[in-house]
Structure 1
Amino acid sequence: AYRETVTRAAEAESTYDREIGGRRHFARVKLLITPNDTNAGVAFTARVNAELLAEAEVAAIQRMVHRTLQSGYLVGFPVTDVKVALVDVERHAGETTIEDFEAATALAMRDLLRRGHSVLLEPVMRVETYVPEEYLGSVVNDFGGRHGLVQQMNVSGDGTRTITAMTPLTAMIGYATELRSMTSGRGTFTMELDHYAQANEAIHQRFLGDNWQSRFYRDAA
């Protein structure tokens, strides 16, 4: 499955101000999002004065941040490898509840992902292929055609070569059949998810259409 992430730091501020059942509900939050390291997931920090928010309110804002990141801005894939910081809040005495902070957070998060210029991430697999020596060149060349990056090659006592490569999952379609053909059925491989990397333009266009950046980020600051 694909993921989404942001490519630049961005701030977003949202105010929730409603009258419900004759009572005013008010909350304002300001959030900062920045790219995180690969495979680092989602990190949340609160940078506001502890006197402004109760622990339960901070926890509620954090839960809403994580909840909204389950569905990204572009396609709705989960968002990963980002840092989100709560940098400012405003409340009105007698008019602000935990639910109001949650509502303001949800509004700000959508804008935050847009301003952060979200992109799609594709799964990159760690592939280990085991082949006799005579097929080594063909297998290595095949990884090049699959946009794979060969990281390591080892040889075992019986002469079997192990090729370790990082390859986009989409490029591995049909690999089992091709490997059998290249090695006369003598090659085997294992594959596991290693990390997510920014998808190429063709994948973005497949999901989002042509000129997707101008449509999604036309008015992003």
Structure 2
Amino acid sequence: MSPLPTDAPILPLSQTVSAQRPGDAPALVAALERCRAEDGAFAYSAGREIGTFRIEARTLNELAQRLAGVTAVAAVALETGPIAIQPCWTPGRLAEAEHRLGSADGGTGDFAVVRLRIVPRRSGEGNIFETEFAGPPEIDALNAAVARGVARASAEGVEGEGRIIDTRVVFIDGAFHPKRSTPAGFEEAAIAAMRAACRTAGLRRLEPLMEIEIMAERDHVLPVVNDLATRGGSELRRRLAQKGVAIAAELPLRAFLTYEGDLAALTQARAKIIGEPQLARWAEVRRR
């Protein structure tokens, strides 16, 4: 049992960027690469459309800073898209799927058979990979290739959106050819088997939740808590403070982006967010 070989943090916010003039695209790519080289935490990926790239961040301030840095380094006119919130996905139930690449009887090209079982885990437990496929020494390289394929499929998520998280993946069975099986073929088969298993399992869409603390007067505690529930949030705990009642709560990031102004309107500016909001976890969001 081991974590899947993908340790990049999951960043909930993103914004697309592209060069206004097609000829300036190389300058944008060079700027993105330079920003990543100078800051190991800088993250970007290819967008859905050719020539577009998605800059990722944990907070709005961080996203704005990263975009400003890329703009300054590129020194060309750029176009940006709207800020997007990235979901994650997790299987709804246990499922199995098999993918066969090529034929073992004659023919040419890669041959691989990969059968995977995926099992949902609790929120925050992460992804793990296990293998029950054993045999001669060359199997070790094929097992490693399957782990890479599962990690790639998990990172790509659904149609390139978000990632698959909190999932146990077991390589339960397979077949190989001593001359025609390669790690690349097994990686390709693992990606296809992982996608098929996820379709069978029925993926649940998860949204990022922020943990926040609200300082409110006593008369406003109940309205604030009820309002949180209508936005898909929930109260975690509360404590008495000199200036009122401090309410710790979870709130979907989508709602949090406009919540400060909404909270002021609800309480006639007598309640406010205190401290630094933190990304808590990904979960299904149910609104009243």
Coarse TM-score class (shorter-chain normalised):
0.7 to 0.9
2:281 to 190, 195, 220: 195
For structure 1, which segment, 98-107 or 82-91, has the greater mean C-alpha deviation from structure 2 after superposition? 98-107
CA shift, 1:173, in A, is 4.2
Tell me, what secondary structure is at the counterpart of 2:111?
strand
Question: CA deviation digits over 1:55-104, x for unaligned, max 9?
Answer: 22211211111011112236632111111110011011211111121121
User: Is the CA contact 1:16–1:26 (under 8 Å) kept in the aligned structure 2?
Assistant: yes
User: Is the CA contact 1:130–1:187 (under 8 Å) kept in the aligned structure 2?
Assistant: yes
Q: What one-letter code is carried by the residue in structure 2 that aligns with 1:163?
A: I
Counterpart for residue 91 of structure 2: 6
CA shift, 1:188, in A, is 2.6
Q: 1:141 to 1:14 in 2, by over 3 A?
A: closer
Counterpart for residue 149 of structure 2: 64
Q: Distance in 1 between matches of 2:202 and 2:222?
A: 40
CA shift, 1:135, in A, is 3.2
2:264 to 180, 184, 187: 180
Q: 1:199 to 1:133 in 2, by over 3 A?
A: closer
CA shift, 1:125, in A, is 2.0
Counterpart for residue 247 of structure 2: 163
Q: Distance in 1 between matches of 2:175 and 2:137?
A: 8
User: Is the CA contact 1:73–1:114 (under 8 Å) kept in the aligned structure 2?
Assistant: no
Counterpart for residue 29 of structure 1: 114
Question: CA deviation digits over 1:160-204, x for unaligned, max 9?
Answer: 311011222223342111222344434331422211112459xxx
Q: Distance in 2 between matches of 1:130 and 1:141?
A: 15
CA shift, 1:34, in A, is 0.8
Q: Distance in 2 between matches of 1:111 and 1:199?
A: 25
Q: Distance in 2 between matches of 1:23 and 1:144?
A: 59
Counterpart for residue 121 of structure 1: 206
- Paired residues, number: 199
Q: Percent identity?
A: 28
User: Is the CA contact 1:119–1:198 (under 8 Å) kept in the aligned structure 2?
Assistant: yes
Counterpart for residue 206 of structure 1: none
Which residues of structure 1 form unaligned runs of 5+? 202-221
For structure 1, which segment, 190-199 or 118-127, has the greater mean C-alpha deviation from structure 2 after superposition? 190-199
Q: 1:183 to 1:73 in 2, by over 3 A?
A: closer
Q: What one-letter code is carried by the residue in structure 1 that aligns with 2:280?
A: D
Q: Distance in 2 between matches of 1:154 and 1:174?
A: 25
Q: 1:141 to 1:26 in 2, by over 3 A?
A: closer
For structure 1, which segment, 58-67 or 188-197, has the greater mean C-alpha deviation from structure 2 after superposition? 188-197
Q: Distance in 2 between matches of 1:48 and 1:70?
A: 23
Which residues of structure 2 form unaligned runs of 5+? 1-85
CA shift, 1:121, in A, is 0.9
Q: Distance in 2 between matches of 1:6 and 1:74?
A: 15
Question: CA deviation digits over 1:2-55, x for unaligned, max 9?
Answer: 111110111111111179xx8432111110001011011211111122437532
Q: Determine which structure has greater relative contact order: mean sequence separation of CA pairs < 8 Å that are 6+ residues apart, divided by chain length.
A: 1
Q: Distance in 2 between matches of 1:144 and 1:96?
A: 54
User: Is the CA contact 1:72–1:113 (under 8 Å) kept in the aligned structure 2?
Assistant: no
Superposition TM-score, scaled by structure 2 size: 0.62
Superposition TM-score, scaled by structure 1 size: 0.79
Q: 1:148 to 1:142 in 2, by over 3 A?
A: same
User: Is the CA contact 2:112–2:177 (under 8 Å) kept in the aligned structure 1?
Assistant: yes
Tell me, what secondary structure is at the counterpart of 2:134?
coil
